[in-house]
Amino acid sequence: MKLKYLITLSLLTLVIAMQAQQPIDKNTTKETTALYRQLLTLIQKKQILFGQQDATAYGLDWKSEKNRSDMKTVSGTHPAIYGWDVGGIEKESKKNLDGVDFNEMRILIKEAYQRGGVNTISWHLINPVSNQSAWDTKTVASIDSILPDGAYNAKYNAFLDRLATFLGTLKTDDGIFIPIIFRPYHENTADWFWWGSQNSVVSYVKLWRYTVTYLRDTRNLHHLLYAYSPDKTSSHEKYFERYPGDDFVDVLGHDCYHFGGVATANAYLTKTREMLLYIAENAKKRGKPTAFTETGLETVNQNDWWTNVLYKTIDNVPIAYVLVWRNANNRPNHFYGPTPNHPANQDFMKFIGKCNIITGNKLTQQ
């Protein structure tokens, strides 16, 4: 009887644990649920996926070449996590704001998934009121005017419909929806985007919840995990000031770039690590994964940055992944990942050689 009781209790504990590891969408696809649990497992194993924005779309001196990335040229492996942006889809552009053709993006997302990689998408959408870029902060009351009863609600719904149509095409050849970590309205604690801190907390929360509800319930998209990713804040508590709630967020993320090179390295390391640990502690209480959703040092002008700054920032911090920004092919000094013949490449190889840093090649060995 005791053994039977113990077995029953163990099974009940397992069922409760599995139920806790569920995305906010109760109708999510099994593949998306599996990704959610994979993120939590990575944290438990103290492993961190390494990724880059637009890694296979272009690099420092190339664009649209099959099976290529600057990272692969330098190290022999693609990233484990691939970042994309759908800014421009809302105005029916053929290419996103960084010149990536949406048809090509669809192919690259599928290829990344077939390699075992993870795809995450951000959205630098235009200001719906002014039709100017995401960085247009001069137009006031942008959020309130696109919510229900607002003058631009129908227009924003059209934006969401175009986004949803694209997201709905992200499938394998067998018709399986590819899981996506969707990261809208990021860096909301700063004031450089129209959805930023110049808006009220109430308005931002309403925008987030409306967007999730529309995509999930109105457009029936069930292959998305939703990542919340504020920029650095004046205090830890500020991180949650605009938090939409546990029922509307899957992943607790953080964006924080290193500016200033060697002179500011220690301050960046210390403050960012403290913030990530704070976020991870709160994410654990909520049963949610944590991620370092955007970071980097432009031009990587510190030759030991990978091991002595980034690695020391994230080592033994319970995050599922870290993503550095893109290597622009039309802006020579706008790159954040490894590039051919860069003096920091040797240090990068040491970084990805760490046993807890997972790249594309290591994914296949899991």
Instruction: Please tell me the pTM assigned to this model.
Output: 0.94
Range 204-224 average pLDDT: 98
pLDDT of residue 21: 81
Catalytic residue, candidates 31, 65, 92, 187: 187
Which two three-digit tokens encode residue 346? 């040797």
Q: Does the active-site annotation cover 31?
A: no
- CA 79 → CA 162, 281, 359, distances in Å? 29, 27, 5
The CATH classification number of 2-363 equals 3.20.20.80
Q: CB–CB of 110/170 below 8 Å?
A: yes
Q: Does the active-site annotation cover 92?
A: no
The domains of the chain are located at 2-363
Nearest to 311, CA basis, from 328, 329, 297? 297
The continuous run of DSSP H or E covering 85 comes out as strand 81-85
Q: Express as a percent the part of the chain with pLDDT over 70.
A: 93
- Give the tens place of pLDDT for each residue, 277-308: 999 999 999 999 999 999 999 999 999 999 99
- Name the CA radius of gyration of the chain, rounded: 20
pLDDT of residue 20: 59
- Give the tens place of pLDDT for each residue, 68-119: 999 999 999 999 999 999 999 999 999 999 999 999 999 999 999 999 999 9
For residue 363, name the pLDDT band (cuts at 50, 70, 90). Answer: confident
How open is the CA angle 206-184-218, to the nearest 5 degrees? 60
For residue 142, name the pLDDT band (cuts at 50, 70, 90). Answer: confident
- Give the tens place of pLDDT for each residue, 150-179: 999 999 999 999 999 999 999 999 999 999
Which two three-digit tokens encode residue 40? 């939590």
Separation between Cα atoms, residue 204 and residue 210, nearest integer Å: 10
Separation between Cα atoms, residue 182 and residue 185, nearest integer Å: 10
